[in-house]
Structure formats: C-alpha cells, structure tokens
Amino acid sequence: MDELIPLLRLLADGDTHSGNRLGERLGISRAAVWKRLARLQALGVPLEARPGRGYRLAQPIDLLDGAALKAALAPATRARLAAIDLLPTVDSTNAHLARLAPWPAPRACLAEHQSAGRGRRGRPWVSPLGASLYLSLAWPFRERPAALETLALRAALAVAEALEDLGLPGVGLKWPNDLVADGRKLAGILIELQGEWGGAQQAIVGVGVNVHLPPEAARTIDRPWTDLATLMGPERPSRTALAAALLDRLCATLERLEGGEDDDWRERWRARELYRGEPVRLLQEGGEIQGVYRGIAEDGALLLESDGRLRRCYAGEMSLRPAHTQPETAP
C-alpha cells in the first residue's frame, strides 16, 4: 500500500497522465504502473483510462498531510497527544489503537483506507481510499470518570461542533451517536472501552465522516447517507483540516470528562437533537418499543414515553428510528 501513495499524489491534480510519464516520475515500468492503477481501483479509487492519453482520477482525491495536520492543531491538543499514526491502510483505526494498548498518553490514528471499517452493532463502515475521514482517538483514564457512560453522546456533539467550526451548520444528533444532515447520515461514532469498573479505563473514540464518496462505494451503503461534498460543494474543508478540527474538539471534550467538569453539554446536545417530542421506534434484539422521544437524561439514557410511563433506555444494542420508517426485524 505504501507504494500507491506516490502514484496517488501524482494523480491528485485531476489531470490526465500517460503511463510512460507516470513510470518515469516513479522510476518504475509502465507495466508496474498498470498494476498499481489496478490496485487503486480495487481499493475503490475511481479511475478513468483515456485511450491514447493516459489515466486520470474520475474525481480529485484529497490525501492527508501529516505535517499540515500537526501544524493546524491547537497547542493544547499537540501537547496532549503522544503520537499521531497516519497510515495508508489498516483494518480499522480503532483496531490499530487497541493493539497498542495500554497507552501511557492519548494517541490518535488516521488512515487513508480501512479494509474492515466498523460501525455500531457490528455493521461495516464503507471506507474507500481517500474518500472519507477515518479517525480514532485513544484516551487512558487513570480512574473511571463518573460520567463515562455519556462519552458517546459527548463525542458526537464534539464532531457536530467541529463541523460547525468549519462552516457546516444544522447538523443534527440522533441518539446515541449518529450525525445527520438533510435527513441523511453524515457521520458516526464507535466507542470501545477496556478496563475494570472501579479502576483505570482505556477508551477509544472512533469517528467516520463521509467526505466525498465515489458512486461505486456509495452503492454498498444500505441507508440514506450524505457527504460533505454534497452539503458544502467546493467550499468543504480538506480532510486534513477536518481531522485537526475533530482532534481539537475531541481532546477538549475528553479532558473535561476526565476532570469531572460539569459543563453545559446536555444543553448543547438538546439544541441539535432529532425527534424530540416525536413518535419513534426503538429497535432492540427481539423486537422494538414504540413511544414518544422525550430527550436524554443526565447519564445519557434516552427518555421514552411509552405505555403511560417514562422509560430510561441505554444504548447497547439499541437503535432509534422515526415512527414512520419501515419496520425492521433486528437493529
């Protein structure tokens, strides 16, 4: 995979490049160029072959820039992060950090491509090369924070606020940790915890944001989705700028959680939450619960008015849907 990045950087301008010219620039044969182009296509990179002219990207690709990322981070974020792993490809950024645990200090991982990206409830996360942002942040807590169960909601809020910082208002939050724009999913959060209840805890916050999904990859997504290219057009931020904004917001959020600070996160969440006061269906193993969504409790639980009483529902293997959506047999 490492050898594909120089080729991608040559193609990133969107112009047409002959196989001979690409080979000269890379110091390899034309046959080797063709093999690398075929590998890029297998990874979901949309390529066009123009007879007699060469090859070009069907849409420009925006590769991550490690030096620019570090320069764009807030000083406090740079001071907290022990390392930022920027990988060409990985099974998943969460899995990469889990293999390195325990961590003496916070550590981040970003990848151009994931071969086994994961969402909540074991769902795959479509991860074509250079098309979205795949980011994970590992955070060691010396002792379990009192409000750790609210981490998924706080992380989703941090991502929404980072997107607002970059010029995208109106992102809604769907309990517990999906980000929705124009009624379609834009981003998701995957939280994984290690450790014992009463002692040290290790948290991994995984974030996936759709940036500019190619049509071939998008066809494999079985739910309504959107991306930053659709929402913001050419004014969308680079993936590097997006990564810096997310890391700044996430690090600040985890520091407050670690310090037990009682900030106004619930009020900020409520300003963005979807379905408040509306009929909803809460899908779970073995069936569903119907009721009216009444917001979130102080511990992050969903408040559902059902059968004349107010229930507290916790994330786990549950999934929230508007009442008008089609029934599903399992979440």
Among 124, 155, 123, residue whose Cα is nearest residue 139:
155
CB burial string 71-94: b at 16+ within 10 A, e below: ebbeeebeebbeebbbbbbbebbb
SS3 77: helix
Residue 185 is a catalytic residue: yes
Among 56, 118, 281, 321, the active-site one is 321
Residue 321 is a catalytic residue: yes
Contacts of 266 (CB under 8 A, 6+ apart): 296, 298
Residue 294 is a catalytic residue: no
Number of continuous H segments (helices) and E segments (strands) in the chain: 11, 14
Among 304, 15, 60, residue whose Cα is nearest residue 176:
304
Among 120, 236, 239, 281, the active-site one is 120
Among 185, 236, 266, 272, the active-site one is 185
Helix (H) or strand (E) holding 191: strand 184-195
**Are 209 and 194 contacting, i.e. CB atoms less than 8 angstroms apart?**
no
Catalytic center residues: 120, 185, 321
